[in-house]
């Protein structure tokens, strides 16, 4: 039994090594200029390792995004109150996520290039669906599976379009207004009361602004 266990652990370690190297390269060179071969060589991985563990470069990005989101939730876990619902929690997570991705030049370049190449629908679709379903349940908003899927599509597409235009300076929004607006897309479509959403915007800002989350790393 020891040998299979060791082989399994080696696989986990190799996969994480590829992720760690990818983060470094994405931070230094951006998404577009980082190649799978660069990742393979720096990670000391075999030619087949990256296709085996991830398939494509974009799947590495998806893994990085979801691992980072999970780390933010873990960081905030003991900061939330027992009755803080998924909608409010997602406002808090979004404040940290976008602060670290948009307000750092290297992170911002990477995030922009990924947004051009891929919709958030594929990258964070499962997270959006979970949060939306939990929000609908909390506020007793009845939605069909088709409606949840349509709302997720609208959120992902709208979020991407808004962010791309924010990068191009085509919309006049300060950073906090931007984050509040894109985070409220889904709850607005679900039918959450706008007064409640405004409260969540303010309360999440108050919570996050008093936190030191430098330990969290999007890339490096």
**pLDDT(8) > 80:** no
Instruction: Select from 73, 84, 93, 72 the least CA-distant residue to 196.
Output: 84
SS3 state of residue 87: helix
In the chain, % of residues over pLDDT 90: 86
Q: What is the pTM of this model?
A: 0.91
User: What per-residue confidence (pLDDT) applies to 121?
Assistant: 60
Instruction: Select from 67, 112, 74 the least CA-distant residue to 92.
Output: 74
Q: Model confidence at 3, in pLDDT bands (50, 70, 90)?
A: low
User: What per-residue confidence (pLDDT) applies to 119?
Assistant: 66
User: What per-residue confidence (pLDDT) applies to 18?
Assistant: 95
5 compared with 143, residue with greater pLDDT = 143
Q: Is residue 28 part of a domain?
A: yes
Dump pLDDT digits (tens) for 52-78.
999 999 999 999 999 999 999 999 999
Spell out the residues 6+ positions from residue 92 whose beta carbon is closer than 8 angstroms to its own. Answer: 76, 79, 80, 204, 207, 208
Instruction: Select from 58, 68, 69, 62 the least CA-distant residue to 32.
Output: 58
Dump pLDDT digits (tens) for 139-183.
999 999 999 999 999 999 999 999 999 999 999 999 999 999 999
CA dist list (Å): 137 to 87, 128, 134: 11, 14, 5
Q: Are residues 8 and 67 in the same domain?
A: no
Q: Is residue 220 part of a domain?
A: no
Q: Is residue 216 part of a domain?
A: no
Q: Are residues 107 and 47 in the same domain?
A: no
User: What per-residue confidence (pLDDT) applies to 123?
Assistant: 80
User: What per-residue confidence (pLDDT) applies to 7?
Assistant: 65
User: What per-residue confidence (pLDDT) applies to 125?
Assistant: 84
Q: Are residues 95 and 204 in the same domain?
A: yes
**pLDDT(120) > 70:** no
Calpha distance 183→93 (Å, rounded): 10
Q: At what angle do helices 57-76 and 86-102 cross, to 10 degrees?
A: 120
Q: Is residue 190 part of a domain?
A: yes
- The total number of structural domains that make up the chain: 2
User: What per-residue confidence (pLDDT) applies to 124?
Assistant: 84
Q: Which domain holds residue 46?
A: 1-55
């Amino acid at each position: 039994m020891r040998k299979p266990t060791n082989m399994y652990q080696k696989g986990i370690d190799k996969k994480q090594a590829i992720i760690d190297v990818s983060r470094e390269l994405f931070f230094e060179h951006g998404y577009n200029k980082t190649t799978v071969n660069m990742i393979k060589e720096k990670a000391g991985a075999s030619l087949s390792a990256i296709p085996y563990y991830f398939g494509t470069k974009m799947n590495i990005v998806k893994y990085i995004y979801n691992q980072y989101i999970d780390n933010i939730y873990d960081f905030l876990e003991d900061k939330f109150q027992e009755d803080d619902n998924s909608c409010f929690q997602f406002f808090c997570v979004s404040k940290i996520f976008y602060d670290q991705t948009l307000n750092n030049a290297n992170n911002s370049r990477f995030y922009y290039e990924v947004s051009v190449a891929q919709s958030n629908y594929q990258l964070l679709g499962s997270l959006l669906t979970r949060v939306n379903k939990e929000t609908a349940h909390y506020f007793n908003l009845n939605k069909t599976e088709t409606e949840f899927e349509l709302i997720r599509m609208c959120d992902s597409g709208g979020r991407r379009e808004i962010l791309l235009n924010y990068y191009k300076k085509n919309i006049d929004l300060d950073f906090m207004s931007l984050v509040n607006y894109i985070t409220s897309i889904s709850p607005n479509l679900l039918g959450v009361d706008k007064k409640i959403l405004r409260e969540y915007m303010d309360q999440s800002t108050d919570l996050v602004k008093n936190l030191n989350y430098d330990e969290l790393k999007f890339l490096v």
